[in-house]
Structure 1
Amino acid sequence: MFIIIYFLTGAGNILLDMTIKSSRALGSPMYFFLSFLSFVDSCCSSIMVPRMIIDLLTEKKTVSFSGCMTQLFAEHFFGGVEIILLTVMAYDHYLAICKPLHYRIAKNRKMCGHMVAMAWAGESLHTLIQILFKVCLPFRSPSVNDHFICDLFPLLKLSCTDTHIFGLFVATNSGLMCLLIFSILATSYVLVLYSLRTHSNKGQHKALSTHASPVTVVILFFVSCLFMYLWPMVTFPIDKAVAVF
């Protein structure tokens, strides 16, 4: 089942990216960001899913410490870039619907490129800070990771030292940041819906049709992140199921 979902996800992202790049009609900032989002989503899926599928098919499920840290860095890096891109896309929707006269001035191709570059650079720094303290912790060898990926809280439970402060740091760095960004996104969506009152029925339908997909993605993405990272050093059996989303 996961093999089928993985290949459908990869094929969908590749097709989306090729369609946007080959069509001149899809040259607006929204599709520019959507193209990068599909690329990042492919990278994020490829970091976690193939390893999970291999572990499901093999009897011996082992990973080296360096391999675990590499996966941890990559999954949080690409996941963080995806969060920033979703935020930028929400701002793009807000400008297009609420400030249409300023849209073309504020959102040219050069500005879009700068925003994507800032997303990559900012998340590199954010993820590096999270990984550095994890590498310095002492771990038992061998250890059993109760998860299908190398994630922050499951790995903290394997450490040989008191990790209460580190758990609070992770909850602040990941959980509260997700809560803050989710609140900003929810506010922007409410403002967009409020501004649609003055639009025609055709304009409302067009705006809502382009708004539904990002809202669905944001809800699935952020609710899952908040469930997993907002409570310091608390893990639940359902965490692995939530992480699939």
Structure 2
Amino acid sequence: MESVQLYFDLIKAGLKRFAEYRSSFIAGFFGLIMINGSSILLIWVMLKNFHTLNEWTFWQIVFNYCLFLSCLGFHNTFFRHISDLENHIVNGTFDRFLLRPVSPLLQLASEKISITDLCDFTTGMIGALFAAKMLHIQITVGFMFGFIVSIINGVYVFTAILFSVSCISFWTMKSKSILYSTNEIQESVQHYPISIFNKAFKFIVTVLLPYGLVNYYPSLILLNKVNVHWVYVIMIALVDMIYGVIGAFLWRRGLKRYNGSGS
């Protein structure tokens, strides 16, 4: 409980620091709204002539897109800076995490906060619920429970992938280049249902880099596009667990290997 309280105390401190840059927040907020609006507009233009994309309608794709966006926004707000682990290791500043009487992982996770990215989270939440309404899906307690669980799962998937890849820095001193190379994969999963891609790509985004677990498979369940929901629930839980184990293993091995590199 003390660690949890400390985490929230550090987050509050980050919020106070951020309050000094309100104009930057407002500019970033409206910028993200324009970017997301443009993406949805492009989807509409594409489906204006084709009407459906591999049996996915416009509003179903919007729901899929916005679910991804809400998870990405929340993740970026609180956990995107985990990728800075590479910089800490290269510059030797990771040493200070080890010297303090607090978990190094807790210090890393609470080091920064990006309030601007809450725009993506908010836009995604509103967009997904509006799309569900346009699809005549009843917003029941059961639906909202599944929707919230899907967002929690999506944030976990993003963070687990980022954390696991970042831990590679303990051996290579570099990991961000690997993360940057996944951007196109992320964008493809965000904008389109992965059912339109070939089997190799679906395997990659389901098992190796499971971004499909962020929005595609939860969308299948929430939009009732599959009959046997529990199969997908078990698959999502299993992959989540595997990535959690991988991340924990790499972190522990990395801590034992780290000697401090200096600048």
Q: TM-score range by the shorter chain?
A: 0.3 to 0.5
Structure 1 length-normalised TM: 0.38
TM-score, normalised to structure 2, is 0.36
Task: Tell which has more relative contact order, 1 or 2 (C-alpha 8 A, sep 6+).
Answer: 2
